[in-house]
């Protein structure tokens, strides 16, 4: 095994050991299909993301004020993909991560939310619309993730437990261009839609407060590069950006057959 490949595996395994809960944006990768028919690949993905989410329509006995929350997240995903032709592939992924959220509900003092339990599961597809020349492909991808997170929070001296369930859908469109035999550039525009529910319960108290959850950024763009290490291994890096979201993603993919 080459020293470069060993370093990349060690990096992603270290990140995986660091992460333990989940509330994060998944990587997109190239918006094009790159697996031949009947081929499988296994990917290890890491993302660091900063994002804002809106909590609205608080209701329960006692009600709840609307608020926004900023999150910083680390996440690791495992992705299994299969090619169904030169222009179409499907993938399934699952992940865990670490999350920290802050807000300023009713105060200029930020409150801290630390996730202690959570996970994400999802699937997606990629397809190629056209190939103008041997170095350029234009395609699109769609993925959906279901995430569940449980956290403890301290607000105004009171301890709360929160449970959040949300669905994230991403749709991306763009090119992948080969600049060298083993290096490509990719990117394009994307839509990122987050919808869900959050409930909060004060410790040693009765009743719960419920909120609708919505992502603050829905339209953005991204850019990345993929490096072919050898015929069975590739490494990719990407950056996603929207009004209230920034995501750095790393990927290491192994061809299984």
Here the CATH number for the domain that contains residue 247 is: 2.40.128
Cα dist. 47→33, 59, 68 in Å? 21, 33, 22
pLDDT on residue 208: 73
pLDDT on residue 63: 54
Which is nearest to 174 in space by CA: 186, 192, 160?
Answer: 186
Please say whether the beta carbons of 249 and 47 come within 8 A. yes
Three-point CA angle 54, 115, 60, nearest 5°: 50
Spans of the chain below 70 pLDDT: 1-24, 58-65, 101-117, 153-158, 205-207
Look up the domain containing 120 and give its range: 3-255
Separation between Cα atoms, residue 62 and residue 208, nearest integer Å? 9
Please say whether the beta carbons of 239 and 247 come within 8 A. yes
Q: What are phi and psi of 104, to 5 degrees?
A: -135, 50
121 burial type by CB count under 10 A (0-12 exposed, 13-18 middle, 19+ buried): middle
Residue-wise pLDDT for 5-50, tens only, equals 444 433 333 333 333 344 567 889 999 999 999 999 999 999 998 8
- CB atoms inside a 10 Å sphere around CB 180: 9
Q: How many domains does the chain have?
A: 1
From the centroid of its chain, how far is CA 205? 34
pLDDT on residue 105: 54
From the centroid of its chain, how far is CA 201? 27
SS3 at position 134: coil
From the centroid of its chain, how far is CA 244? 15
Cα separation of the two ends of the chain: 18
């Amino acid at each position: 095994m080459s020293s470069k490949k060993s370093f990349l595996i060690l990096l992603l395994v270290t990140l995986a050991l660091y992460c333990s809960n989940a509330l994060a944006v998944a990587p997109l990768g190239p918006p094009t299909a790159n697996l031949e028919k009947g081929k499988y690949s296994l990917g290890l993905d890491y993302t660091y993301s900063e994002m804002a989410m809106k909590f609205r329509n608080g209701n329960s006995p006692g009600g709840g004020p609307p608020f926004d929350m900023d999150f910083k997240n680390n996440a690791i995903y495992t992705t299994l993909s299969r090619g169904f032709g030169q222009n179409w592939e499907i993938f399934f992924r699952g992940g865990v991560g670490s999350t920290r959220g802050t807000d300023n509900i009713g105060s200029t003092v930020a409150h801290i939310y630390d996730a202690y339990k959570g996970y994400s599961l999802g699937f997606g597809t990629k397809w190629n619309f056209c190939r103008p020349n041997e170095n350029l492909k234009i395609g699109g991808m769609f993925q959906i993730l279901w995430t569940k997170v449980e956290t403890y929070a301290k607000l105004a001296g009171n301890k709360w437990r929160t449970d959040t369930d949300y669905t994230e859908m991403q749709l991306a469109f763009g090119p992948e261009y080969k600049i060298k035999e083993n290096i490509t550039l990719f990117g394009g525009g994307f839509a990122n839609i987050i919808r869900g529910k959050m409930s909060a319960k004060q410790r040693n108290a009765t009743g719960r407060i419920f909120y609708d959850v919505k992502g603050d950024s829905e339209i953005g763009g991204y850019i990345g590069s993929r490096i072919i290490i050898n015929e069975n291994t590739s490494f990719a890096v990407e950056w996603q950006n929207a009004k209230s979201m920034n995501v750095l993603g790393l990927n290491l993919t192994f061809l299984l057959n």
